[in-house]
Amino acid sequence: MIIREITQELKQLAQNYPIVTIIGPRQSGKTTLAKMTFPDYLYCSLEDPDLRKFAQDDPRSFLNKYHKNTIFDEIQRVPELLSYLQTVVDAANIKGRFILTGSHQLQLRAEISQSLAGRTALLTLLPLSISEAMTAQKLESRDVLLYQGLFPRIYKDNLQPTKFYANYYSTYIERDVRQLINLKNATNFEKFLKLLAGRVGQLINFNSLSNDVGVTAVTLKEWLSVLEASFIIFKLEPYFENFGKRAIKSPKIYFNDTGLLAYLLDIDSEKIIGRDPLIGNIFENLVILELMKSRLNRGLNPNIYFFRDSNGLEVDVLYKKASQLIPIEIKSAATFTKAFAKSIHKFQKLTKKAQKGYVVYAGDFTADTATYTIVNYLDTNGLIVN
């Protein structure tokens, strides 16, 4: 049994709000988290076609069945139910009355802002953090971790990663995308997704992608928004401020799990991932996810960006803490060199807002200097939570 780091935040919010909504990727552990945290609650999965039809056809009678505290799973399947939940919680102000889970953030956010504003707290649950995974399985190496990814079932059931992600792709990604958009050509969509994987950690260039896929940029933007809404990818936005130099304003693309990313790159073994030309980008993806999870699991916005200007200065991650900016460089190498901190020093000279930074890498040597701290990637969990 893996105890999720977000559990304490979920319990606290359920004491303060009538509804708590947990969003995140399919199979990230939302249902298990809700059931483990609230074992006495009634449970209803709206993936069940009969229950879903009942909820759609007669929502009041449906809700009468759930007169006690209830977990409603995959609530985005019946979004019209949210306005009826509003009526229930307004009639009796009971904290923690409903726990909702959902896998499509755009659908849910729109409905929540309309029907449940002020009545629900919102949490995002991504796959396991490294520290959570380490409670279930000894992590053999960087490359095993990157290849396996961090979906809970791989660790709970000791599943073979390539087979898991092949099934995940066909069961969830293709199916969910078809529900959200009129996907006429699944081959082109898969090609687009694989091209995104090949450009992980790079700036989005829709014109280039359009030429490679053979689909209009407008369509690709729609596909990208669906992938983001389904928690397959996320965009890391650039930080731009008038530092006297023109900053890049296009976002970068990353994936919500490196195991899925490896699968899309046709990497079928941990033995070859370390030799892949994109190993630096894949490792960067892992560390950025760790930074995000450390904040999301505490109910905090990630507040992370990247920085690049027209003169070629680039910082992998900027953590914005009030008016302060903390630069973070990420390196996949196991041997530290002072050159790793070059961008940190340049950024610190660029603005007075820049604070002491971090170099996160794959080696064991750690140290603290006047301008940056050297950190092993396994120890990033609490790096930016204060």
Residue 59 sits in which domain range?
A: 7-124
Place of tokens 């407008």: 218
Residue 293 lies in a domain: no
Q: Could you write out the DSSP letters of every residue in 23-91? A: E--TTSSHHHHHHHH-TTSEEEETTSHHHHHHHHH-HHHHHHT--S-EEEESGGGSTTHHHHHHHHHHH
pLDDT at 105: 72
Running along the chain, 386 residues long, what does each successive block of 10 average in pLDDT? Answer: 95 98 96 98 97 97 96 94 94 95 79 85 97 88 97 95 95 78 81 96 96 94 92 94 71 98 96 95 98 97 94 95 97 98 97 97 97 97 87
Q: Are residues 234 and 103 in the same domain?
A: no
Distance of alpha carbon 254 from alpha carbon 224, whole angstroms: 12
Distance of alpha carbon 47 from alpha carbon 80, whole angstroms: 15
pLDDT at 39: 98
What total number of domains does the chain contain?
Answer: 3
pLDDT at 243: 64
C-alpha dihedral sign at 64, 69, 74, 78: positive
CATH code for the domain in which residue 92 is found: 3.40.50.300
Place of tokens 């919500």: 256
Q: Are residues 176 and 110 in the same domain?
A: no
CA–chain centroid gap for 10, Å, is 17
Q: Are residues 162 and 275 in the same domain?
A: yes
- Token pair of 177 as six digits: 């995308």
Distance of alpha carbon 348 from alpha carbon 350, whole angstroms: 5
118 conformational bin, left if phi > 0, alpha if psi -120 to 50, beta if neither: left
Residue 110 lies in a domain: yes
Tell which of 108, 124, 140 closes a domain: 124
Distance of alpha carbon 323 from alpha carbon 327, whole angstroms: 13
Q: Are residues 117 and 136 in the same domain?
A: no
Q: Are residues 332 and 373 in the same domain?
A: yes
Residue 298 lies in a domain: no
Q: Are residues 75 and 159 in the same domain?
A: no
- Token pair of 254 as six digits: 């990353």
Q: Are residues 96 and 197 in the same domain?
A: no
CATH code for the domain in which residue 191 is found: 1.10.10.10
43 phi/psi in degrees, rounded to 5: -135, 135
Q: Are residues 260 and 343 in the same domain?
A: no
SS3 label, residue 310: coil
pLDDT at 187: 86
